[in-house]
Amino acid sequence: MKRFRKLLIVGLMLPLISDAQEKGLKDYYRDDFLVGAAVGYFFQQDEPLMALLKQHFNVVTPENQMKWEAIHPQPDRYAFEAADALVDFAQQNGMKVIGHCLTWHSQTPKWVFEHPDGTPLTRDELLARMQEHITTVMTHYKGKIHGWDVVNEAIKDGDDDVVLRDSPYLRIIGEDYLDHSFRFAKAADPSAELYYNDYSMADPKKREKALILLKGLIDRGVPIDGVGMQAHWSIYDPSIEEIEKSILAYHNLGLKVMITELDLSLYKFDDRSKPYEEAIPDSVLQLQAERYRQIFELFKKHSDKITRVTFWGVSDRHSWLNNFPVRNRRNAPLLFDREYKPKPAFEAVIKAAQQ
């Protein structure tokens, strides 16, 4: 009887033990925010990648599969297969999906803005095309998408006071193209969260412009739920103080704050040198780990304001930064190395969760 009891106790504990081994990033931050990753094409041919996704992440973003050029390559042809594959995988594994993205000047075909003879569409024609695209894509995924990046990267870079970047949307429709984009999205799927998403959102000048843009949307009653700070940062910048100022400023507008495309490049943005092609020095990986620790301690401190932290990829092997802004340069911005092994940065992020 005694022996039976012992066996029973061990038997009951087994699932706990194996659960502990399976514990992933998402579990460490369960009470703080969702933890996500961007996922590219061909993930299903990569078993180890799928295993990491299941263990560590509870939300995914298609890295390219839902962009206009991918999902709507020709005026009367939609191509949902690649995005469907990721949405199905996410649903089968209890993960949420972020839609990325509906209105963006990049990775959008030229025909979107033109008649077949190359002359530009009128404002009303482009609005109609935008509405048709947003409605078709969002309806296809209705009920399956947690939130959409409705407008991506609309703000102009630089120290001037011009808020909106030049783009065919701005030239043809005018400044209210964002309002329309959000309103079309709300009508298409009222239950999805709607976001504005951009890079350099911790830069003081860009923050100033973002606050003008976001406040304008809110004042005009445009349906927006949150703001995405892409967070394509480096191991050198921006400072923790500037990141914190931005989180607070966006939160104070009443918006959900999300970190949507996190990676920490080994290079400052203007550095075009290639010092690490042979090997990455340990000191650099340690510096990266320390930066990841500080950044996640900050995220944890503000976990009442931050609803999601998404990495732009999983393994350094597939990071887009191996080809941007320098083509074919070795970068290592993520938590898992080229062999999918956890890096010092991974341990640092776990440590920050336990502070």
Q: Decide if 253 contacts 214 (C-beta within 8 A).
A: yes
Cα–Cα dist 111/290, whole Å: 46
Residue at token pair 């081994």: 21
Pick 250 or 311: Cβ nearer ligand XIL: 311
Residues acting as catalytic residues: 153, 261
- The residue from 58, 108, 152, 331 that contacts ligand XIL (CB under 6 A) is 152
Pick 261 or 337: Cβ nearer ligand XIL: 261
Shortest Cβ distance from residue 137 to ligand XIL (Å)? 15
Contact track, ligand XIL, 311-350, x by CB under 6 A:
---------x------------------------------
Shortest Cβ distance from residue 261 to ligand XIL (Å)? 6
Reduce the DSSP state of residue 266 to 3 states and report it.
coil
Residue at token pair 């620790």: 293
| Spacing of C-alpha 12 from chain mean position | 39
User: How many residues of this chain interact with ligand XIL, rule: CB under 6 A?
Assistant: 6
Cα–Cα dist 102/185, whole Å: 9
Told to check if 286 binds ligand XIL by CB under 6 A, we report no
DSSP category for residue 336: B
Q: Which residue is nearest to ligand XIL (CB)?
A: 320
Pick 276 or 320: Cβ nearer ligand XIL: 320
Calculate ∠ Cα 38-98-299, nearest 5°: 70
Cα–Cα dist 137/297, whole Å: 37
Pick 102 or 295: Cβ nearer ligand XIL: 102
Shortest Cβ distance from residue 320 to ligand XIL (Å)? 3
Residue 227, CA distances (Å) to 73, 247, 307, 315 in order: 27, 10, 10, 26
Pick 232 or 300: Cβ nearer ligand XIL: 232
Reduce the DSSP state of residue 325 to 3 states and report it.
coil
Residue 323, CA distances (Å) to 47, 141, 197, 319 in order: 24, 31, 22, 8
Shortest Cβ distance from residue 265 to ligand XIL (Å)? 12
Shortest Cβ distance from residue 331 to ligand XIL (Å)? 12
Residue at token pair 């074919």: 328
- The residue from 55, 64, 136, 286 that contacts ligand XIL (CB under 6 A) is 64
Told to check if 41 binds ligand XIL by CB under 6 A, we report no
Told to check if 103 binds ligand XIL by CB under 6 A, we report no
Shortest Cβ distance from residue 230 to ligand XIL (Å)? 6
Told to check if 230 binds ligand XIL by CB under 6 A, we report yes
Q: Decide if 266 contacts 233 (C-beta within 8 A).
A: no
Cα–Cα dist 265/233, whole Å: 6
Site for ligand XIL in 157-216 (CB under 6 A): none
Residues lying near ligand XIL in the complex (CB under 6 A) are found at 63-64, 152, 230, 261, 320
